[in-house]
Amino acid sequence: MEFSHEIFLKNIAQTTGSPILLEVEKAAGSYLYSPDGKAYLDLISGVGVNHLGHQHPHIINRIKEQVDKHLHVMVYGEFVQSTPNLLAKKLTELLPPSLNCCYFTNSGTEANEGALKLVKRYTGRTEIISCRGSYHGSTHGSLSVSGNETKKQAFRPLLPDVKFVRFNNMDDLKMITTKTACIIMETVQGDAGVRVPSQEYMTALRAKCDDTGTLIIFDEIQAGMGRTGKMFAFEHFNIVPDILTTAKALGGGLPIGAFISSYEKMTSLTHDPMLGHITTFGGNPASCAAALGVLEVFENENIVAQVEAKGQLIESLLQHHKIIEIRRKGMMFAIDFASSDDVFKIAKYCLDHGVITFWFLSCPNSFRISPPLNISEEDIRKGCAVIQEAFNLL
């Protein structure tokens, strides 16, 4: 055990001075297991990835079938392969007709990079508007349109011509003009601590963008795939984006993302220049097989319909006098306390008592859980009881 920690700390690049250092041997359903056999109830799902728990047998079977047939055979966009085809068909069938064409990437940030390039190419404009508090990824383009200033400062210069509006602020919509290529926005902000826009704002946003010829990119890398109680969060608001980005839970544990738009818009990446966006591994067949398995499980197990009721149950079990505010959409939770110290204390107690929870990068006073959507009621009650004990420490 100590030896593994030594390698991890020395030979694997570190991103913080204090990693959690939980050693994972195996995982199943809503649980992770350490080498000493201790079980951990996973209430964070790999940060919004394992919406269907760990090692779902149908997803694992889909991956195994593909592994036995073939893995990578060619760079993106050249050879015809049945699994990415099936995935694109199934994914677009879940979406409105104008979102009928998928570009598969390896990650969330790459999906946003592709989407940003597409809007520039399609509109011929350069100005990009994003929202304060947003998180869109860690590569240069996505970082440029992310709101967290302390994470960006050391990496300037970033993309030019990026402006920020206040999330869900009607007045700031006037910053969107005929010069604006796109607004990129998380449909429900995740890293900012679960911020849900109003219906009035979303309706006005769509109207303003229609008036100015500005494209809307909804980043549903965290809020999508059933998390908010709809398959895609924009379905709550009765408006449709021009481009949708997804990743994380799409792959059920294998890396995949996608930016999805209309066929007409997407074809602007095929000429002037040809190969306007390329990738070696995007649409990797094993990742696509996993994602296909994910969509089939959603279809067969009626998961999304249960999300709101489970979210309500969790919210009712987590009431406590030290809580300042709970923000929730479906099973996406932020629970505000007086300080970040409180949040760390809670997360540490939970981990020590076999329950995995987390915090937010840009919202330090909020405690975070994003349980598997198919978690059982028994495990919800078990996990919430431990969290309540942690709240009682404050």
Residue closer to ligand PMP, measured from CB, 54 or 136 = 136
User: How far apart are the C-alpha atoms of 347 and 42, rounded to whole Å?
Assistant: 12
Total of residues contacting ligand PMP (CB under 6 A): 14
* DSSP secondary structure code for residue 97 in this structure: T
Q: How far apart are CA 310 and CA 330, in angstroms?
A: 8
Within 230-259, the residues that bind ligand PMP by CB under 6 A are 247
Identified binder of ligand PMP from the candidate list 45, 81, 107, 123, rule CB under 6 A: 107
Q: How far is the CB of 138 from ligand PMP (least distance, A)?
A: 6
Question: Please, which residue, 115 or 390, has the CB nearer to ligand PMP?
Answer: 115
The residue among 243 and 390 lying less far from ligand PMP, judged by its C-beta, is 243
Q: Residue type at 40?
A: Y
Using alpha carbons, select from 63, 29, 56, 30 the residue that is nearest to residue 44: 30
The verdict on 227 binding ligand PMP (CB under 6 A) reads: no
In the bound state with ligand PMP, the residue whose beta carbon lies nearer, of 349 and 360, is 360
Site of tokens 């913080």: 16
CA torsion, ordered 253, 230, 220, 222, to nearest 10 deg: -50
Near ligand PMP by CB under 6 A: residue from 103, 122, 135, 360? 135
99 counts as binding ligand PMP under rule CB under 6 A: no
Contact predicate 347/359, CB 8 Å: yes
- CB distance 217 to 242 below 8 Å: yes
Q: Say if residue 157 is preceded by a cis peptide, omega within 30 of 0.
A: yes
- Other Cβ atoms less than 10 A from the Cβ of 204: the count is 14
Task: Name residues contacting ligand PMP, limited to 167-206 (CB under 6 A).
Answer: 186, 190-191
221 binds ligand PMP (CB under 6 A): yes
- Name the minimum Å distance from CB 256 to ligand PMP: 9
Q: Which stretch binds ligand PMP (CB under 6 A): 4-12, 107-115, 197-205, 269-277?
A: 107-115
Name the amino acid, one letter, at 92: T
Task: Find the residue with minimal CB distance to ligand PMP.
Answer: 108
Q: Binding residues for ligand PMP, per CB under 6 A?
A: 107-109, 112, 135-137, 186, 190-191, 219, 221-222, 247
